[in-house]
Amino acid sequence: MRFLMNYQNIPNDDVFDDSELLLIKYARSFYKTFKKNIKFIQILFPSYKPHYVTIIFSIFLYIFFFGYNIYFFNKYNPLFIREDVLINIGINREIISNKLHFHKLITATLVHPNIWSLIINTYYLINLGITVEKGYGRIHTIALMLFSSICGNLLMCATANCNEAQLGTSTILSGIMGLFLQEVTSNFKKIKGKIEIIGTYLFTIVPMYLTIAMFPHNGNIMGNLGGLFGGYCYPYIFNVIRMNRGPGNTARLVHIGLMGLFLISLILSLLIIKC
């Protein structure tokens, strides 16, 4: 929080207000936890309201997890889904490449390997997602989640070993961090508190990734990089940059081209290089 405290001592600028960055809005939301008369749930979720899309989505994630956990009951580890089930429902290169089960690039996001990864992922998903929804609206929040999930899961699958299995929403979380990064980089010259903004970003992303990485089958670094890239490109491709007039035609075409090459090359690698 030190980065944010330093940031607040920077004078406002008439042209560009650093506090409008979603990254700062997210970090500042936790100041509510120090106020009096706060509801208990707002300690964990400062901006909690039941209508936000990531809260609704998180409820479905718990339903999916307990549904799979009961149907494929693991008597040795009741709060963990069995290894053989993870391979069949998760991001598994052999199944997706050989049997062309490309739908799992989306459906694998809906299931988590254990209750602990589900709790951690939904904690970050709700808090980050609410910030995005306030800035971009519900439709773009859903589209960003879907887009970053596909980008991250494709890269994760194409670079995985044949016997690996990964699941969960870590690619969506990376997509949101990619969106934060896009706002920072596209406005970097106008930002007054550059060091503080960089520090706040690192202070946000590093603990999240370290926590996610504690659990097996909860995504990997390649999936996170793919999700980050998807989230970064999303505002350019769909022309929804929030803090200025939008990307120029050149910038938009460049990002569309890069994303096209990214997706086509990964799909071809899965179709051509079999396990």
In the predicted model, what is the mean pLDDT of the chain? 85
Degrees, nearest 5: CA angle 29-35-40? 80
Structural domain boundaries in the chain:
2-272
Tokens coding 175: 């997509």
Of 31-35, 60-64, 148-152, 230-234, where does mean pLDDT reach its minimum? 31-35
For the chain, the maximum distance between any two Cα atoms, rounded to a whole number of angstroms, is 62
pLDDT, tens only, 192-214: 888 999 999 999 999 999 999 99
Cα–Cα distance, 138 to 274 (Å, whole number): 38
- Residue 237: band (very low, low, confident or very high) from pLDDT cuts 50, 70, 90: very high
- Choosing among 1.10.357.10, 3.40.50.2300, 1.20.1540.10, 3.40.47.10, the CATH entry for 2-272 is 1.20.1540.10
Task: Please state, in angstroms and as integers, the Cα–Cα distance from residue 66 to each residue in 59, 74, 112, 121, 167, following that order.
Answer: 11, 12, 10, 16, 15
- Under DSSP, the state recorded for 111 is -
214: tokens are 């504690």
Tens of pLDDT, residues 9-58 = 444 444 667 778 888 888 877 665 545 455 545 555 556 677 889 999 99
Q: Measuring CA to CA, which residue among 54, 171, 66, 158 is closest to residue 111?
A: 66
What is the average per-residue pLDDT within 96-121?
93
Q: What pLDDT, on the 0 to 100 scale, is given for residue 24?
A: 86
**Pairwise CA distance, residues 69 & 112, whole Å:** 10
Question: Which residues neighbour 65 within 8 Å (Cβ) at sequence distance 6 or greater?
Answer: 81, 111, 112, 115, 118
- When mean pLDDT is compared across 27-31, 53-57, 176-180, 182-186, the lowest value belongs to 27-31
Is residue 4 within 8 Å of 23, Cβ to Cβ?
A: no
> Which residues are paired to 166 by β-bridges?
91
Taking residue 266's Cβ as centre, other Cβ atoms within 10 Å add up to 21
Report pLDDT for 65. 93
